[in-house]
Amino acid sequence: ALVTFLVARTLLNKHDEVRLPYIVDESVQRNFTVVGVKKQPELADIPQLVKEMRASFDAGIPKPLAKRLEQLEALRRFFEENETAILEALKADLGRPTFEALYYDNILPISEIENAIKNLREWTQPTRVGFHILTFPSTQWLQEEPRGVALVISTWNYPVLLSLTPVLGAIAAGCSVVLKPCVVSRSTATLLSTLLPKYMDPCVLSVVGGQFERDRECTAALLEERFDTIFFTGSPVVGKEIMKGAAKHLTPCILELGGKNPVFVDKDCDLDLAAKRTVWGRMMNAGQQCISPDYVLCDKEVIQQFGELAAKHVQQLYGDDPKTNGNFGRIVGDKQMARLVGLLRTHGGRVICGGTYDESARFVAPTVIQCSVDSPLMVEETFGPILALVPVSDVKEAIRFVNSRPKPLSLYIFSRSKAFQELVCANTSSGGVTINGTLFHVGHGELPFGGVGESGMGAYHGKYSFSCFSHKKPVLVKSVWPDFGLLSDPFFLYPPWTDQKIKILRLIGKFL
């Protein structure tokens, strides 16, 4: 019996590559009146749109591995064949420099697509789970299954990247997807609404809302419908409304939000490098980035030097006239511009560099300001090219300050001391951390990106994009042996439960 047990334990936990024999019925499309029929669905079409996307999923259309790979290839072609149009739309919406736009909204999503194509077969395979005495003899695994119909609600600051990276994860997982682009970035929303349908099967991906004047009405209408997963990128305020809408149908959410991201600057760090990388991270996309360093908690002994170095790097990176040199973007809209102008007028601190603006051009100069913790700059996420410097007496004061506020999406540390780095990491909470740099942890394809607390829930990028649209379904196959139930169907499991069976249970319990 012991030999049988050991051999079985080895053999039963091995299995070949599992095939997924999905039933697919493409004939359901014949009765569709919105999906694949209307190029620009209207508000009144949304209930029928969602109904037909669910019919597509229930008919198995997006599930087969071959279909997922086909659609990922189509998405890659969209990027490759429309690079110029994408860059032009981003220039129109955000004044985005070509380098930034090319990297964030073309190269990065293409690399994510290629990674998914390369690894999708492996990702869809079951994950073996080991032996357990109470289920022996058995084979068990976790099987990835698509969650169903996914809703992706995008935002305006990286309108291509933050729309299509979640979408490719949902496609890879085998879901049907409804994409709602953000019309604050009007040119890009129009591009996504008009060009994507030329590449994608509408039963797999449908785009809605790109032609509307405002986002609110379309989003509200979508939240009235039942989805199986909602992926939202935006502010914590809107994130709460998304969760309220999702709660009506108990729909799980992935929320990529934001927050005020702190930078810890140790007095013994390489101050020049810290200033350079902080300025670079802050001013990317004119500061309109949820992972952007928002404020610097700097040791008071070196804060003046850090401010001078930050000003130096602003000048070196963006020149004497960042408004015209093509290396610096614009604020996306008048509403956002007015908010930033208000902060520049009321911050109550000392302007180290910048501080100028042109409302008609939606331009705010790269700005560094030393201020107190009570400044209006320190209340909410700035989301603009304004870097606040705040003096602290030591790292413990900085940690207490960060912990007194909502948990940030990102946190940055500049220090040569491993003890300093570990102290900050261990005693603060954030979505992610980069040490001796900014932004970089988000660019690593094998690291999950997501928030914690008010900065979000759930994570994506790389395989995590696939996982957040998948359900890990546990499957157990109970083996039936010709052993008269000695091992495969032990008698003590069944009533009547005698004292002898209870003793056996206690004995087995010692091995759990």
Residues noted as catalytic: 256, 290
Place of tokens 């002994």: 301
Residue 359: CB partners within 8 Å, gap ≥ 6? 334, 337, 338, 341
Least Cα distance to 329 among 370, 299, 292 occurs for 292
For residues 251 and 243, give the distance between their C-alpha atoms in angstroms, rounded to a whole number.
8
d(CA 35, CA 205): 9
Whole-angstrom Cα distance, residue 344 to residue 364?
10
Quick one: which H or E segment has residue 58? helix 46-58
On whether the CB atoms of residues 287 and 382 are closer than 8 A, the answer is yes
**By 3-state DSSP, what share of the chain in percent is helix, strand and coil, each rounded to 5?**
45, 15, 40
The phi and psi torsions of 16 (rounded to 5 degrees) equal -75, 175
Q: Report the relative pairing of strands 363-364 and 357-358 from DSSP bridges.
A: antiparallel
- Whether residue 392 contacts residue 398, with contact meaning beta carbons closer than 8 Å, is answered with yes
Nearest Cα residue to 352 out of 315, 327, 321, 379: 315
Cα–Cα nearest to 408, from 352, 451, 470: 451
* C-alpha distance from residue 505 to each of 4, 134, 156, 240 (Å): 21, 10, 60, 48
> How far apart, in whole angstroms, are the C-alpha atoms of residue 334 and residue 332?
7
Instruction: Provide DSSP, 384-438.
Output: SSEEEEEEESSHHHHHHHHHTSPPPSEEEEE-S-HHHHHHHHHH---SEEEESSS
